[in-house]
Amino acid sequence: MRASSRQALIGVVAGLLALAMSVAPGAAAAMKWTVAPEQSRILFDYERNNQLAEGSFTVFTGSGVFDRDAPGDATLEFRIKSASIDLKDTLASAFATSAEWFDSASHPLVIYRLTQLTPEGGDSYHAVGELTIRGRTRPIESTITLDIGADDAHASGNLRLDRTDYLLGVGPSALFVKIGAQVAVRFELTAHPAQ
């Protein structure tokens, strides 16, 4: 075999090996997912005038990448429309979007970005992320449960935050209604493979 033919054959073999490696199971396991808002819920509990109250957000989007074999490479960005807050009272919900609270006119989005995902055994993971409200970004941690199927993925969990870290409700309205500083957030998300 001539040297030129040998080099061509080596080049073809190298190309086939590179292709095989690029579609190896580990490399192909990473999938992009898009949250389905109509199948998902974001709820929160808080104290209002010393009584437990519940609220929710109704408009949000999210997408991320997850590989069960490499959870440390996971990404997620979640965007919540702050004006979609629902406190089960029209007047209270509208007031929550005012300048003293979410200031939805100037800060229309609450943004969560995942920065680290660590397995804790089974379908349980420890998530570290950054939460931005009213332009203020703070680190936040939570434990989540992930159930990944071929056609959909489910994530659920909870986290706690201090609303004063984001200057939520620290103005004169505090003289008229007593809102607890601690807020407990619960989420149940369904996602589908991105098209």
Query: Could you give the domains of the chain?
Result: 29-193 (2.40.128.110)
Confidence tier at 171 by pLDDT (50, 70, 90): confident
10 Å Cβ neighbour count for 159? 19
CA-to-CA separations, 187 to 43, 83, 97, 159, 160, in angstroms, rounded: 6, 18, 21, 9, 12
Average pLDDT value for residue range 143-151: 90
pLDDT at 2: 53
pLDDT of residue 173: 76
Of the pLDDT bands very low, low, confident and very high (cuts 50, 70, 90), residue 42 is very high
pLDDT at position 27 over 70: no
Q: What pLDDT is stored for residue 176 in this prediction?
A: 81
| Mean residue pLDDT across the chain | 86
Residue 18 has pLDDT above 70, yes or no: no
Share of the chain above pLDDT 90, in %: 74
Pair of tokens at residue 165: 């870290």
**pLDDT at position 30, please?**
83
User: Could you tell me the pTM of the whole model?
Assistant: 0.82
* Dihedral, 134, 135, 141, 145 alpha carbons, nearest 10: 70
